[in-house]
Amino acid sequence: MKTRINRIFIIMLGNLLSLPVLAQIETPQPSPTATFTQKVGLTEVTIEYSRPGVKERKIFGDLVPYGKLWRTGANRATKITFADDVKIAGKDLPAGDYALFTIPGKDEWTVIFNKNTNQSGTGNYKEEEDALRVQIKPNHITEPRETFLINLEYVRPNSAFIELAWENTQILIPLEVEIDERIMASIKKAMSVAPGTYYKAAVYYRESGKDLNQALEWIDKAIELYEKNGANVFWAYRQKALIQADMKKYADAIETAKTSIAKAKAAGNDDYVRMNEKSIKEWSEKI
């Protein structure tokens, strides 16, 4: 019995002694990693990078020397992914994954999109693997950025800026994406499916300043199909009136707006009544 107890004690002691070897200790990273995804237009952009801090150091021109290749962050090379073909500072860049390098300068930075994303630091960098280089002038920011930041700013339907910011320096890299061709392809593909498609296409054309004659044709088609199903489309008549007004056909726009008012009253929608009445007053002054 004593021998059995001793054996159990030895096993338990061995397990306890092995715990420090098996345990994993996690500590904060000096330059924590971040992943950021943003859609610009219809194109998804993903950025993976590490974020070093200033930590009371002089950054550009000292810790990050001017005129030297920088991995644009810490640890592994920063990775940026474009789901579709884009333009960077007006230059074409195919869809894909890229390592983002820079060469900081006091008056100008070189921004590099390199095809080899499997890099740590700059030791394996090869210029012949560059997909694109652009020159960007830096901006001075009055509020210091303690932790290095890569972001997408000034996002518009077909453009944005890739922002790099650290210490008192900001770089804004122009990014453009294609939306018209993709939307037009979707419009043509879906055009025969439902009246809502004609309606959305007409609204898009009007708001984008495209062919208003085509927009008017589509809104008429939408109204026709909706009303075949017995729908009260006061809101579609409102869009038709706006298209006609943009075409400077103010008399026609007023008549269409009156139709929208009558249908909106039948639907109990006072907002559309007010909007149309305001437009009629405005358009009447232009005849």
Q: Please give the backbone phi and psi of residue 11, each rounded to the nearest 5 degrees, phi first.
A: -65, -45
Of 122, 132, 42, 24, give the one whose Cα is nearest residue 87: 132
For residue 230, the model assigns a pLDDT of 92
Residue 185 pLDDT grade (very low, low, confident, very high; cuts 50, 70, 90): confident
Does the pLDDT at position 13 exceed 70? no
Give DSSP secondary structure letters for the chain: -HHHHHHHHHHHHHHHHHHHHH-------SS-EEEEEEEETTEEEEEEEE--B-TT--TBTTTB-TTS-B-SSSSBPEEEEESS-EEETTEEE-SEEEEEEEE--SS-EEEEEES----BTTTT--GGGEEEEEEE--EEEEEEEEEEEEEEEEEETTEEEEEEEEEEEEEEEEEEE--HHHHHHHHHHHTTT-HHHHHHHHHHHHHTT--HHHHHHHHHHHHHHHHHTT---HHHHHHHHHHHHHTT-HHHHHHHHHHHHHHHHHHT-HHHHHHHHHHHHHHHTT-
Cβ-based neighbours of 91, under 8 Å, separated by 6 or more:
132, 134
Q: What is the pLDDT of residue 147?
A: 95
Model confidence over 214-248: pLDDT tens digits?
999 999 999 999 999 899 999 999 999 999 999 99
**Cβ within 8 Å of residue 49, ≥6 positions away:** 33, 34, 72, 73, 78, 79, 100, 148, 150
C-alpha dihedral (65, 70, 76, 81), degrees to nearest 10: 150
> Per-residue pLDDT averaged across 152-167, rounded?
95
201's tokens:
């296409």
Task: State the DSSP string of 48-109.
Answer: EEE--B-TT--TBTTTB-TTS-B-SSSSBPEEEEESS-EEETTEEE-SEEEEEEEE--SS-E
Model pTM score: 0.61
pLDDT at 76: 86
87-138 pLDDT per residue, tens: 999 999 999 999 999 999 999 999 999 999 988 878 889 999 999 999 999 9
- Band (pLDDT 50/70/90 cuts) for residue 82 is very high
d(Cα 263, Cα 284) in Å, to the nearest integer?
21
Is the model's pLDDT at 15 over the cut of 80? no
As a CATH number, domain 180-284 is 1.25.40.10
CA–CA dist 274, 61 (Å, integer): 61
The domains of the chain are located at 33-177, 180-284
Phi/psi for 148 (5° steps) reads -55, 135
pLDDT at 30 (0 to 100): 63
